[in-house]
Structure formats: structure tokens, C-alpha cells
């Protein structure tokens, strides 16, 4: 199946591609959607898919036979094989139709969960009653003096007694993904992780620091795990980590970074205060 770009483009509110996630507005093009449909069901990663950092095959795939595509709306359903999660990405004013499609497909698959993902422009009011994230864009220029890392150092460069405290830090922030990240670090499978320390222990971290070329050839700084221990929040560690990570990105040739932050959360407020550009909102409704 081929999507008609003049139909689809008119209803895209946020530059977001199913199974890929947010993309740079300048790289949003029909080829992105064509690529996703082309590899559906193969388990192959597209060269610019950030998920290839964490797995050997692509888990989420488009259900090609169930796409609904008209001049006013496009519904693209996907299935995640490892847990049976079914998602319908709804472009255009089609939340009711999307919910109906998700329910119908969930009934025909051994789905553990079904959800609808909707998109809302940066000038629109975020939807109520759904989990909402803001898509934000950081564009890189020459590093400023205040972007320099200061006391932030790579975990690998910390004195051994301090470096060993990262394991306890990761255990404390397991729900933020740091326990998983720690296993990847131990395997030597990821780029550097930057850390904030206090009192001889790791109290905050951001990483891994890695870049990847996007579909248009620009260099993207990939998303990181980012967290500070609760008792150390509010003391500037988060901002110092963020600025050190952005300095790393600028120094390693990144053109931009895309993030999704929970509305009103600490990371969302930090990114807004740092002048990132909002590209719109992504709402997730679980059925």
C-alpha cells in the first residue's frame, strides 16, 4: 500500500512517524512513511531508526492490511510482538474511528493492551484525560560558555570508588530505565554516560551520548536516560547534566535533538526554560 502524501500531509499536526517516533520537521517527507511500510513485518531496522541501539530486530510493525486512509484522516495500526501491544496512530480528527479500529483489531489479536495515539499542534490545547507528552526540538549552534560541562564527568572517568556508586544509583532509578542502561554499560554496548556527583557518590546521570544520521542526512543527538535522585533534586544537578549533554552534542557534530517530555514534569519545565521549540503534543489513550 502507498499513502497519498497530499492526503496525509494535510492532517499531520506533529512531525511523528509510526514505529519511528518524532522526526525533524525539515525531514518530514513521504519517503519516511514509505520506508516504514516497506519494512513492515520483516523485523528489519531502517538505517535511521534509533531503536536499533537496543535490539537485533524491529519489534513494532505496521499492520498493512488494516490501514485506513482517506482525504480527511489516516489511521495506521501497529503491533508490538514482544507483548502484543496494539497501537493505532490517528492523523486527523479521527479519535472515535481510531478507537473503534483499535478495539476491533485487539479482539482479533492476543493483545495485552490497545491504545490510540493522537497528535495536536503546538498552538492547540493538549487533550484532557489522556497521557500527553510534548515533542521538543533542540537545534545546535556553537557551544556557549555556560554550556560547558563544569563538574559533570563521564562515569568511566570517575574515580573508582565514585564510579562504583553508579550501580546503587541505577537501582534507585530502575523505573527511569537506569538499571537497563547499567547492564548495557557493563556490556560496553553504549556511548558515554555523564554523571553528577555529590559527597563521593553519583546523584544524577544522563546518557548514553550517541549520534545517528537521520533520513535526510542530518546528525541527530539521540535521546538519553536522564535522572537525579529525589533527595538531590532542586540543586541544579539536572540543569548541569542537561547543559553538559548539549555541549557534548555540539562538540560531536549534532545538528539537533528531539525529545518527548511529560507535560508539566521536571524535564518538560527544564526544556522549556532552556528555550527548546515545541513541535506539538502526542496524546495516548489506553482502551
Which pLDDT score, from 0 to 100, does residue 256 have? 97
Give the orientation angle of helix 266-273 with respect to helix 237-251, to 10 degrees.
Answer: 60
Q: Do the strands 219-221 and 211-213 form a parallel or antiparallel pair, or are they unpaired?
A: antiparallel
Which pLDDT score, from 0 to 100, does residue 93 have? 86
217-to-47, 77, 211, 214, 252 alpha-carbon distances in Å = 11, 28, 12, 5, 15
Residues 6+ apart with CB under 8 A from 275: none
3-state helix, strand, coil in the chain (%, to 5): 30, 30, 40
Which pLDDT score, from 0 to 100, does residue 266 have? 87
Q: Would you say the pTM of this structure is higher than 0.85? A: yes
Which pLDDT score, from 0 to 100, does residue 110 have? 76
Which pLDDT score, from 0 to 100, does residue 113 have? 86
Q: pLDDT digits over 137-187, tens only?
A: 999 976 555 555 458 999 999 999 999 999 999 999 999 999 999 999 999
Which pLDDT score, from 0 to 100, does residue 269 have? 92
Which pLDDT score, from 0 to 100, does residue 53 have? 92
101-to-70, 113, 129 alpha-carbon distances in Å = 15, 14, 20
Residues 6+ apart with CB under 8 A from 6: none
Residues of the chain with pLDDT under 70: 142-150
**What are the φ and ψ backbone dihedral angles of 236, each rounded to 5 degrees?**
90, 0
Which pLDDT score, from 0 to 100, does residue 120 have? 95
Q: Is 195 within 8 Å of 158 (Cβ atoms)? A: yes
Count of Cβ atoms closer than 10 Å to residue 249 Cβ:
25
Which pLDDT score, from 0 to 100, does residue 150 have? 56
Q: Domains in the chain and their CATH numbers?
A: 5-134 (no CATH), 141-254 (3.40.630.30)
Amino acid at each position: 500500500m502507498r499513502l497519498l502524501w497530499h492526503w496525509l500531509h494535510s492532517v499531520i499536526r506533529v512531525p511523528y512517524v509510526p514505529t519511528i517516533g518524532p522526526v525533524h520537521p525539515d525531514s518530514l517527507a513521504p519517503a519516511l512513511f514509505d520506508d516504514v511500510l516497506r519494512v513492515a513485518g520483516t523485523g528489519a531496522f531502517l538505517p535511521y531508526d534509533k531503536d536499533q541501539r537496543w535490539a537485533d530486530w524491529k519489534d513494532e510493525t505496521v499492520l498493512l492490511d488494516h490501514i485506513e486512509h482517506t482525504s480527511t484522516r489516516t489511521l495506521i495500526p501497529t503491533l508490538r510482538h514482544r507483548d502484543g501491544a496494539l497501537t493505532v496512530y490517528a492523523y486527523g480528527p479521527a479519535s472515535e474511528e481510531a478507537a473503534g479500529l483499535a478495539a476491533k483489531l485487539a479482539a482479533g489479536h492476543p493483545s495485552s493492551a490497545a491504545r490510540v495515539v493522537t497528535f495536536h499542534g503546538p498552538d492547540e490545547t493538549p487533550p484532557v484525560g489522556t497521557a500527553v507528552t510534548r515533542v521538543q526540538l533542540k537545534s545546535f549552534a556553537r557551544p556557549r560558555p555556560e554550556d560547558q560541562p563544569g563538574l559533570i564527568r563521564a562515569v568511566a572517568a570517575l574515580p573508582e570508588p565514585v564510579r562504583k556508586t553508579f550501580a546503587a544509583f541505577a537501582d534507585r532509578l530502575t523505573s527511569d530505565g537506569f538499571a537497563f542502561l547499567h547492564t548495557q554499560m557493563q556490556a560496553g554496548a553504549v556511548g558515554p554516560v555523564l554523571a553528577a556527583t555529590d559527597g563521593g557518590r553519583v546523584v544524577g546521570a544522563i546518557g548514553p551520548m550517541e549520534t545517528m544520521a537521520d533520513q535526510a542526512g542530518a546528525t541527530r543527538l539521540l535521546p538519553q536516560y536522564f535522572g537525579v535522585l529525589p533527595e538531590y533534586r532542586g540543586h541544579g544537578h539536572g540543569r548541569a547534566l542537561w547543559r553538559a549533554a548539549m555541549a557534548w552534542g555540539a562538540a560531536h557534530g549534532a545538528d539537533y535533538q528531539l525529545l518527548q517530555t511529560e507535560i508539566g514534569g521536571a524535564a518538560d519545565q527544564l526544556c522549556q526554560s532552556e528555550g527548546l521549540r515545541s513541535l506539538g503534543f502526542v496524546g495516548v489513550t489506553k482502551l
